[in-house]
Amino acid sequence: MNNVHKIKQDMCDIGRRIYNKGFAAANDGNITVRVSENEVLCTPTMHSKGFLKPDDIATIDFTGKQIAGRKKRSSEALLHLEIYRQRPEIKSVVHCHPPHATAFAVAREPIPQCVLPEVEVFLGDVPITKYETPGGQAFADTIRPFVDRTNVIILANHGTVSYGENVERAYWWTEILDAYCRILMLAKSLGRVHYFTEQKQRELLELKDQWGYTDPRNTKEYENCDICANDIFRDSWSDTGVERRAFEAPPAMKPAAASPTPAPAAAPAMPASDQEALVQAITDRVIAELAKQAGV
């Protein structure tokens, strides 16, 4: 049986962490935990997540209706409920606006792969949704093409949403993602990002499988894909406005380098007898000019 008060305390703790990390300015962000088949604990709207108390947490049903709590539930609860519908094993969802990951959301820049081993193991390919006005069902539906193949999603021009088996694990994925985005920006400011090879990436995927983490790139559907090239979600880019601009493609994705322009063919060699005749003609011409100048 769930200890609801303890879960509310955990939600308040995560609220403080996202606030202290700068992931939720003012009243930004929302946190939910599913406590029964039809009941979800939900943080309140218009309330700083850094100063929550257990008594502030509302309870809603799966239609989004508030059924308990003295403060009004978050206006973005439908996003959380859609994730629970699509992934019944998920118990908690965290949505916030981590600045470095949100910069990628605003730029619609895909998250590079084959850069940091820890990111490949814990996150994998990270999708970016299309933009919808926050709060309604259309906004909630933007996660549907991606939700079953990842545990963290970038919401275009908005922020991130991550989810897991408890509220701390749900938060982890966002913290890892934002740290990675910050590292990418710092590396880019130094000059460029270097990628490790597909072979090394496959070694990481083997470890990931051994440790019990799922990854679409470990399935038959993607066994022949370019695993450094965002192949899992790249088909969605044209619909979501995602395009590589700031970070170059990993080497495996780059088109083959253009062949250098061939040098002009050398002129055929002149026969030795003709060379001698030409040298003699030039010599005779030079001697004649010198004689003329000397008045001979």
Tokens of 243: 């395009």
Q: Model pTM?
A: 0.83
From the list 71, 86, 176, 44, the residue with the least C-alpha distance to 122 is 176
Beta strands per DSSP E along the chain: 30-36, 39-42, 58-60, 66-68, 92-96, 152-155, 159-164
- What CATH superfamily classification does 4-252 receive? Class II aldolase/adducin N-terminal domain (3.40.225.10)
Per-residue pLDDT of the chain (296 residues; tens, 9 = 90+): 689 999 999 999 999 999 999 999 999 999 999 999 999 999 999 999 999 999 999 999 999 999 999 999 999 999 999 999 999 999 999 999 999 999 999 999 999 999 999 999 999 999 999 999 999 999 999 999 999 999 999 999 999 999 999 999 999 999 999 999 999 999 999 998 999 998 999 999 999 889 888 889 888 888 788 889 999 999 999 999 999 999 998 876 554 444 444 444 444 555 555 556 655 665 566 566 556 655 54
Please state the separation of Cα 107 from the chain's center in Å. 11
CA distance 277 to 273: 6
